[in-house]
Amino acid sequence: MKQIYKTLGALAALALLTPSAFAAEAPKNIIMIIGDGMGPAYTSAYRYYMDNPATSQVESTVFDQLLVGMSSTYSSGTQEHHTKKTYVTDSAASATALSTGVKTYNQAVALDVNDKPLLTLMEYAKSIGKTTGLVVTSQINHATPASFVAHNTYRYNYDDIADSYFDNRVNGNFVADLMFGGGQKYFIRDDRNIVKQFVKAGYQYFDSFDQLSKFDRLPALGLFASSGLGYTFDSPVKYRLLKMVKKATKLLGNPDKGYFLLVEGSMIDWCGHDNDIACAMHEVDGLAKTVEYLKDYVDKRDDTLLVMTADHETGGLSIGAQGVYQWKKDVIKQVKHSMTSIISFLLEGQDPAKLWQEHIGIEIDDKGLAQIVAAQKTAIKAIDESPKEDAEKLKAARTNIRVKLITQVSDVLARLTLTGWTSINHTGADVQVFAHGQSKALFNGHQDNTDIAKKLFKLMGRE
């Protein structure tokens, strides 16, 4: 990867030497928000989920207020065929499009189809003297944030990507001045302690969410979980994304040349993969509260642009299913925890009826209970028959078993709430584009996801 860093450094250096003058209307600060997996049905569902039943009309949400357009999300190809266009993107390819303005193949991180590094928005921002930051609810080296900071042929090379957060420099400077999210196990390893290196380089570091208030300067690194932060639904700490973003905007302050801040509501996508509508609504709510804060933040300034979109849609969500003209949002609101929270207990052999009552909390019919009991028995039997002598095969087998089990459990919830899903993966649906503040009109209408990055580059002075 060293050659990639050298090549990128040269590109960034060129950008620094020959910057275009900012347009008169160009914003000083740019806040880019990505709702991972948040297709249009998610924001529609959230509107109905939050609807006040005491009123005759359905109230609008912050997403309705900021909506300006739509975006296509297709990628250039797959790992096997880099230029064989596919209409269904993965998070790395879509994030690369949003961070560089260039289409690439699924699972590639800020590389083109020939595996050449692409200059990212955050790298360019750093090259022209802006302060930079990222705040996510996944691990900070997950596909989306990685595509703004690192370069790799495979998004799951988490250790290598973590290394590049320290090794990849722009004119000798780290790409991100602020990093909040999860990922401890990737940055503190037996072979390398990257956190220790960042601290030695001057970063303030805390590893517990209750220490967030202790951050009082930049550069700042906060890794608040081993991997991702987990679902808001199951956490005692509510509105984690909002709290991290509030701290980030305070730390970023008002630098002379402005800042670029990336924010991701990462777990919306994870709920979508689980086909867990209650989980998804809680994650979208967490993002909505964050956007409400940022909208107010932008309203108080005349130098900041907020742009938000999704990298793709996950799950093929539909509001209403089974041929019934209804969606039971009140039933969804009764759910106490995510589907994921009961899977480990089911695999331990605990009683499904008791678990459903304690963790889900809505009435289940005999058909649904029988479905979960049968799925539990099948899963436990499959684990017992898994290849114990091969750790990698065992891990893969358990992952496959978990997916099948959670699909069955989530199917029961979907049936009881009249929620539809077409996939446990991504779909090719267009996603929404939202904007607020200075230059927001540039993002009106339909565009490709690469156009969003191209417009942001232009606003920062890059031709």
Q: How many domains, the chain?
A: 2
Whether 23 has a pLDDT exceeding 80, the answer reads no
Let me know whether 326 and 177 are in one domain.
no
Let me know whether 153 and 104 are in one domain.
yes
Let me know whether 208 and 357 are in one domain.
no
Structural domain for 377, as ranges? 319-420
The domain that holds 340 is classified in CATH as 1.10.60.40
Active site residues: 91
Let me know whether 293 and 416 are in one domain.
no
Tokens of 283: 């994650």
Let me know whether 311 and 328 are in one domain.
no
Is residue 387 very low, low, confident or very high in pLDDT (cuts 50, 70, 90)? confident
Let me know whether 399 and 431 are in one domain.
no
Quick one: 340 exposed, middle or buried, by C-beta within 10 A (0-12, 13-18, 19+)? buried
Give dist(CA 163, CA 140) in Å, integer: 12
What is each CA distance from 323 to 145, 286, 338, 340, in whole angstroms? 39, 31, 26, 28
Give residue 4's pLDDT: 54
Let me know whether 340 and 292 are in one domain.
no
Let me know whether 67 and 30 are in one domain.
yes
The domain that holds 225 is classified in CATH as 3.40.720.10
Whether 267 has a pLDDT exceeding 60, the answer reads yes
Give dist(CA 401, CA 432) in Å, integer: 34
pLDDT in tens, 129-150: 999 999 999 999 999 999 999 9
Per-residue pLDDT, averaged over 298-318, amounts to 97
Let me know whether 250 and 394 are in one domain.
no
Check if the beta carbon of residue 252 is closer than 8 Å to that of residue 259.
Answer: yes
Give dist(CA 179, CA 307) in Å, integer: 19
Let me know whether 186 and 272 are in one domain.
yes
Is residue 463 very low, low, confident or very high in pLDDT (cuts 50, 70, 90)? confident
Let me know whether 211 and 277 are in one domain.
yes
Give dist(CA 422, CA 195) in Å, integer: 41
Least confident of 76-90, 171-185, 337-351: 337-351
Whether 373 has a pLDDT exceeding 70, the answer reads yes
Let me know whether 374 and 247 are in one domain.
no
